[in-house]
């Protein structure tokens, strides 16, 4: 048992001695500074590459946005062209066989009855009637015998 304890102490002393050597080494500070500089350089390069990818993605999206704006402008121009009165007249006369009417043949219908707003009660009654039409009809004898869910 003593020998295993002595070996453990020896390895423990060796580890402590190795830590002391590394910490007290004159190369520790320069190695840490160099490692920090390399890490910062790698981060800077990665960031530059990432920014370049974002720039290319933004330019692609701007091109797509411009194309969509152009398409929208063309669609609006086409709508204006299709809704021209001259075009509609020529299609109505030529294709559909319609003709222009004179103002003497044009009539306007005017109702003498006042326009009334529908009551809320009428809507409720109408809804209840529609609901009642879809309810099943059951006689008292069928309900008493338990034949409610049987097929007729």
Does residue 70 form part of some domain? yes
Does residue 118 form part of some domain? no
Does residue 126 form part of some domain? no
Does residue 35 form part of some domain? yes
| Residue 122, helix vs strand vs coil | helix
Does residue 77 form part of some domain? yes
Q: How far apart are CA 138 and CA 36, in angstroms?
A: 87
| pTM score of the predicted model | 0.43
Q: CB–CB of 81/87 below 8 Å?
A: yes
Domain total in the chain: 1
Does residue 72 form part of some domain? yes
Q: Where in the sequence is the domain holding 8, given as residue range(s)? A: 2-91
Does residue 151 form part of some domain? no
| Residue 107, helix vs strand vs coil | coil
Give pLDDT tens digits for 41-73. 999 999 999 999 999 999 999 999 999 999 999
């Amino acid at each position: 048992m003593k020998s295993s304890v002595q070996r453990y102490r020896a390895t423990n002393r060796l580890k402590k001695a190795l830590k002391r050597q590394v910490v007290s080494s004159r190369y520790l500070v320069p190695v840490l500074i160099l490692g920090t500089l390399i890490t910062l350089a790698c981060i800077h390069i990665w960031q530059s590459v990432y920014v370049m990818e974002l720039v290319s993605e933004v330019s692609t999206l701007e091109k797509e946005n411009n194309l969509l704006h152009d398409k929208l402008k063309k669609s609006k121009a086409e709508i204006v062209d299709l809704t021209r009165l001259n075009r509609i007249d020529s299609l109505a006369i030529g294709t559909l066989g319609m003709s222009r009417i004179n103002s003497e043949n044009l009539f306007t219908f005017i109702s003498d009855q006042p326009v009334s707003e529908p009551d809320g009660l009428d809507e409720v009654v109408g809804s209840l009637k529609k609901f009642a039409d879809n309810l099943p009809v059951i006689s008292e004898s069928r309900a008493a015998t338990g034949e409610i869910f049987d097929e007729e």
